[in-house]
Amino acid sequence: MIAVLLYVLSSVAAVSAYAGQRLASSPPEHRGSVARYDGANEMNPDERVPFEVHIMSKCPDAQYCLSELVVPAMDQVRDLVDFKISYIGTPYNEGAIACKHGPTECEGNILELIVAHLYPAPITHLGFTNCMSQQYPLIPDQGLVEACARAYNVDIEKLYQLFADKDFGLKLLRESVIINEVASGQGYKKLYDSIKRQDLLHTGW
């Protein structure tokens, strides 16, 4: 998890630096648009910086990472990034997934993935995930799930309908774990290469 946290820290630094560069070169009247989710001033999707977070729903490091690093960064660069959350797990037995903190973590991961599926906008699914992480030992307690769902206007009935479909939930989790495994193997090199790019950070490397 330490390696993942370092990856997130570096990602936040790279995205924030890129955002700062864009804002510094923008007219003052346009700088406030970064903090908006209405889509009116968003970048072209092809120009957005990838911002990926790899977590486990019941990991204490994820709680800190989301609340102290990811959410504050997204407050600044939300319209400049292509934001995604994926989950750490171990594939086994032809498609099954093992989660480090046990079966309840797998359930928490799936609940959060379903919300991201239903509500692609980070303001909803990141908000829900961060809310859940603040009381991560309770995941997937129904009271916690429903409180976080209400806080971010998530349709609880739709959430539970999809959660009841075990095949659908496992499919989401399996796809997410595969994304994480690919990122674990390639992410550090890509991140290092992106930081070195002069057009991203103007470091002169």
For the chain, give every domain's residue range: 2-201
Q: Are strands 49-55 and 81-87 parallel, antiparallel or unpaired?
A: parallel
Q: What is the pTM of this model?
A: 0.71
- CATH number for region 2-201: 3.40.30.10
Q: Is residue 39 within 8 Å of residue 123, measured between CB atoms?
A: no
Give residue-wise pLDDT tens across range 23-71. Answer: 333 333 333 323 333 444 555 666 889 999 999 999 999 999 999 999 9
d(CA 205, CA 197): 8
Query: Environment class of residue 17 by beta-carbon count within 10 Å: exposed (0-12), middle (13-18) or buried (19+)?
Result: middle
Give residue-wise pLDDT tens across range 116-158. Answer: 999 999 999 999 999 999 999 999 999 999 999 999 999 999 9
Q: Is residue 188 within 8 Å of residue 160, measured between CB atoms?
A: no
Q: What is the mean pLDDT of residues 69-78?
A: 94
